[in-house]
Amino acid sequence: MSDVSLGLVGVGKIVRDQHLPALAATPGYRLLASADPHASLPEVPAYADMASMLDAHPELDAVAICTPTHLRHAQARLALQRGKQVLLEKPPGATLSEVEDLIDVASEQGVTLFAAWHSRFAPGVARAREWLAERRIERVEIVWKEDVRVWHPGQAWIWQPGGMGVFDPGINALSIATAILPQAFFLRQARLLVPSNCQTPIAAELSFADPDGATIEADFDFRQSGPPTWDIHVETDAGRLSLTQGGCRLSLDGQLSLEAEEREYAGLYARFAELVASGRREVDVAPLRHVADAFLYGQRDVTDAFIE
């Protein structure tokens, strides 16, 4: 097929840091326009809202929606109803009900809807999934810690309902775990640490188990200073797997198996192009469901107020 003509909805930090470089490095895309009431991109036609962008550019094939989570459902629904292919930045919605509705609308319209779990495109994830497929999982340790002031500077929405707090990065870990582990797993216990002046957690401790009794422990924290820790360690009946640096580094039984540069968003856009070309949809809600379970089932403890 010809190049996918794309509009970007929301042009904040994640778009500038990741989407734009990935689009520049991925053949098959033409960036035609952007929609954001507060920001624009050099030499790209800009509109205050997505409806205006779609009205001005009926030739658009697709939109990538990168706005704060609570805005995505209405925007994605409108784009789908206009017959546009839609890429949703993670998480794909503020609630599971919103995402299920978008799946229905995309099916009715016969267009592509892609829940873009970018961390699944980290270099070591596919090989980790293959290695674990024939092994029995015994224990999993997930440590996902970073400094919110570095990764979300001035983004007050992340502390409001729908903003997810520490689950904004933590869901990346869950997207990897649900991709590489051979069985589903289920929340058994959760502790959420919520700053006294916020609505969402700054840290979370989660305990899961799979049907065979393997334990999965996750430790998420937004208060880490210095370099982030994005690690998953899996003990199996036939050795240990470590997927570290967000999935860029894979070790098997202590031996380095793979180390590569992070190119998640290039892989993400390549996958979106494949889905658009074949007219398929790809919307996995498992990572979001785990977050919803944590909010539903978790114990909430108040901690120190967050001051940026």
Q: Is the pLDDT of residue 265 over 90?
A: yes
Please report the pLDDT score of residue 58 as a whole number: 97
Q: 182 and 196: one domain?
A: yes
Please report the pLDDT score of residue 269 as a whole number: 97
* 103: Cα within 13 Å, side-chain hemisphere: 13
Residue 276 within a domain = no
Please report the pLDDT score of residue 221 as a whole number: 98
Burial class (CB in 10 A: 0-12, 13-18, 19+), 96: middle
Q: 11 and 154: one domain?
A: no
Task: Using the 3D structure, point to which of 62, 93, 116 is the last residue of a domain.
Answer: 116
pLDDT in tens, 13-37: 999 999 999 999 999 999 999 999 9
Please report the pLDDT score of residue 241 as a whole number: 98
Please report the pLDDT score of residue 256 as a whole number: 96
Q: 74 and 140: one domain?
A: no
Active-site residue (options: 13, 84, 90, 145): 90
Please report the pLDDT score of residue 104 as a whole number: 98
Nearest Cα to Cα of residue 163 among 206, 202, 196, 114 = 202
Mean pLDDT of the region 235-264: 96
Q: Is the pLDDT of residue 166 over 70?
A: yes
Return the beta strands (E) in the chain as ranges.
4-9, 29-35, 46-47, 62-65, 85-89, 113-116, 137-145, 186-195, 203-209, 215-221, 229-236, 239-244, 249-252, 255-259, 299-303
Q: 108 and 139: one domain?
A: no
Q: 135 and 236: one domain?
A: yes
Please report the pLDDT score of residue 180 as a whole number: 98
Q: 179 and 78: one domain?
A: no
Q: Has 90 been annotated as catalytic? A: yes
DSSP state of 147: B
Nearest Cα to Cα of residue 128 among 229, 216, 232 = 232
DSSP state of 306: P
The token duo for 175 is 């997207």
Q: 40 and 153: one domain?
A: no
Burial class (CB in 10 A: 0-12, 13-18, 19+), 159: buried
- Which one-letter amino acid corresponds to residue 202? I
Please report the pLDDT score of residue 186 as a whole number: 98
Structural domain containing residue 227? 120-261+292-303
Residue 269 within a domain = no
On the question of a cis peptide bond just before residue 58, with omega within 30 degrees of 0, the verdict is no
Residue 32 within a domain = yes
**By 3-state DSSP, what share of the chain in percent is helix, strand and coil, each rounded to 5?**
35, 30, 35
Please report the pLDDT score of residue 255 as a whole number: 95
| Mean of per-residue pLDDT scores for the chain | 96
pLDDT in tens, 98-150: 999 999 999 999 999 999 999 999 999 999 999 999 999 999 999 999 999 99
Residue 275 within a domain = no
Q: In this structure, what CATH number is given to the domain that contains residue 298?
A: 3.30.360.10
Q: 111 and 125: one domain?
A: no
Q: Are strands 203-209 and 186-195 parallel, antiparallel or unpaired?
A: antiparallel
The token duo for 47 is 């509109």
Nearest Cα to Cα of residue 95 among 73, 66, 67, 117 = 73
Mean pLDDT of the region 187-199: 98
Mean pLDDT of the region 152-179: 95
